[in-house]
Structures are given as C-alpha cells and as structure tokens.
Amino acid sequence: MLALRKTGPHQGLELSRVPEPGCGPWDVKIRVLRAGICGTDLHILAWDDSARAMCDTVPFTPGHEFYGEVVEVGSEVADVLVGDRVSGEGHVVCGTCRNCRAGRKQMCIRVRSVGVQRDGAFAQFVTIPHLNVWVHEHGSREDVIGPELGALFDPLGNAVHTTLKFPLVGEDVLITGAGPIGQMSAAVARHAGARYITITDVAEHRLEMARRAGADVTVDVSRTRIRDAQQQLGMREGFDVGLEISGQAAALQEMIENMNHGGKIALLGLPSRQFGIDWTAVVTRMLTLQGIYGREMFETWNVMSAMLTTSAPLRETILATVTHVLPARDWAQGYEIARTGEAGKVVLDWSTVS
C-alpha cells in the first residue's frame, strides 16, 4: 500500500510503498478515506524538539485524525462489522494501570499514540485495537457523519473535552487561539449555552471564521487588549471560564489577568518553551487551572456524536472549519497550507490514491 512515512530521525516525509498492516484477533483493519493534518504532524515533519520527545521509534507512519471503512475484523471482535464507517481514538492505552482500571483511560500512564508511537492513518490502511474504533450511527443517520466530518472527530474531541470541562450555561467564556480547535470550541460553547464568547488571535481570517462559529467578540491581540472586549460586552466582572488553545505565554498571562475571581481555565495548548506566569494572581483570585490532553474515553465521543447527529447547525459550523480537501499525493501542499496557518483545517483524501 501507499503510506506517508517518517523514514528516519530527520526532517521531511516520504510517500512510500509498504506492506499492508495485519489484523490481530482483537484488531480492526480500516481503509482510510480521509485524514486530517494537525499540529503534531507538523512537528513530525520538521523533526523538532517536540517530535523527538514524542516519537520513540522510526520509521513509522504519522496521522491520527481519520475516517474510514472497516475491511477486516479480528476473530475476537464482536462489536465492529466489515463495512462499518468509523473514526478512531488515537490513544491506545494499557488497560492495567491504576487509571485504566478505574475507568480513567485518558490518564493512562503507558499510552501509545496512533501516528506518533505506532503506525497511523496517513496510509491506505490502518489497524487499531477494536476498543479504539468509534462506529458511526447506522440506519436513518448513516449519512449524517460524512468523511470530512468523521475525520474531525479527533480534533473536535479535543475541543469538546476542553470546552465542557467546566459548566458553561450562562457563563462568560474567553478563548485564546482561533485556529480550527478554537473555532470548534466557540461553536460548542455557543451550543452549550454560554452567555458571551470572546476569542483572540492575530490572524484576521481566523477571527472571521470564529465569528461565524459563534464568537460574540473577536480580539486581534496584536492591536488591542482583552479588557476592551469586556467593555464592549458591558461585562462588570471578569470571564468565568477560560479556554487556552494557543499555547502562547502571553495569551495565558492575559487570560489570567482578565478572569473573574474563582474563574476556571482549561489548558489545551502546548507551549513551545517554559515560561512564568503571575502565580500571585492565580492564588489570590482563587483560579483553577486544569490541563487537558486528548479526549475523555469515551464520554467525549458520546457527547460529540450526540451533538452532531442532533444539531444540523452545529454540524455545518464544525464542517466549515475544513477549508481544504486535497488528494493524498498532494500531501506536501497540504502540509504547507497547514504550516502557514492561512486557512482552516486541511484534510487529505486517501480514497482514490493507488
């Protein structure tokens, strides 16, 4: 089969012919139809410090945001069928550590990630454990989750996990970072009943997409401050909930400065370096800072599936974050579009590659 490979510990990727993956007794083999490019994939392409820290084995196939069709199931698999249209949870857990046994699989201490520590979905076929397969609804709803939307379930899960970590009904929400996940977070916060939603970035096209996703006010932080947004909205106190998506030191610090006392911040963005923050403000304002990684397994999947299958407006908003669907052979162009941040979500089409 064709696969986009990280062939060694250096920059770049290579479209190569490799053997198709096998399918063990507890596994599911999937024909990949769509696969999204995310920030992790950009790190792997560049082979920067983050990639070297994450990826412990080369060569391998990247890609963890995907949608496809089941072509083979293992002999012990009873709940996934050949022909099912599916997405995949990218975190393969051990099942035996304390967190796994307590039902907190997203906190597994021995997690292995699809497309990072094991072969992923930038290929014609990918094999994952059956417990990691998410089967989309059948019958009257089978056409609701199409290939592009199905490929968004992984990043959407990050957005849903982050956004719904704290209660939102009637709350004022601040989001820092208006990329695809920030836009998804704005849409989910609006769907969940937030009062005012403010989102920050430095790219006007992303801020415009965030406005369409449901943000009340957008702030270009290269030119203005978050406090101006509070005045514009007539807010008498700070924000109740903060969603830090950008991974930028200045974004988190300004968020802290504009939180209400007792405010709660969910942290998804991964910083590229260590930095300091005003811990006196965190303590004296009694703020909660909660790290977020991936999705709650599998409650987040249930929540986002329920929201998307019952809300056409939310489906349309989430799908609008996809601005480019390119043939898999044009992967280099897709990576460049994603790297520059000049568009929304970039998805590779693997359905016609040969």
Domains of the chain: 2-152+321-349 (3.90.180.10), 159-291 (3.40.50.720)
Region of 141 please: left (phi>0), alpha (psi -120 to 50) or beta: alpha
Region of 129 please: left (phi>0), alpha (psi -120 to 50) or beta: beta
For 317-350, write each residue's pLDDT tens digit.
Answer: 999 999 999 999 999 999 999 999 888 999 999 9
How high is the pLDDT of residue 139? 43
Q: What percent of the chain has pLDDT over 90?
A: 92
DSSP string, 1-46: -EEEEB-SSSS--EEEE-PPP---TTEEEEEEEEEEE-HHHHHHHH
How high is the pLDDT of residue 83? 94
Catalytic residues: 40, 43
Whole-number Å distance between alpha carbons of 62 and 55: 10
Q: Are 269 and 246 in contact (CB under 8 A)?
A: yes
Which of 21-35, 59-73, 139-153 has the weakest average pLDDT?
139-153
Of 76, 8, 41, residue with least CA distance to 338: 41
327 DSSP β-pair partners: 349
Whole-number Å distance between alpha carbons of 185 and 213: 9
State the Cα angle at 206 between 64 and 173, rounded to 5°: 90
Could you report how far apart the first and last alpha carbons of the chain are, in Å? 8
Q: What is the largest CA-CA distance in the chain?
A: 62
pTM assigned to the model: 0.93
For 212-252, write each residue's pLDDT tens digit.
Answer: 999 999 999 999 999 999 999 999 999 999 999 999 999 99
How high is the pLDDT of residue 138? 56
Q: Which helix (H) or strand (E) holds 313?
A: helix 312-319
Q: Are 197 and 214 in contact (CB under 8 A)?
A: yes
State the Cα angle at 170 between 166 and 175, rounded to 5°: 55
Distances (CA, A) of 248 to 268, 278, 350: 11, 14, 33
Q: What is the DSSP letter of 48?
A: -
Across the chain, how many H-helices and E-strands are there? 13, 17
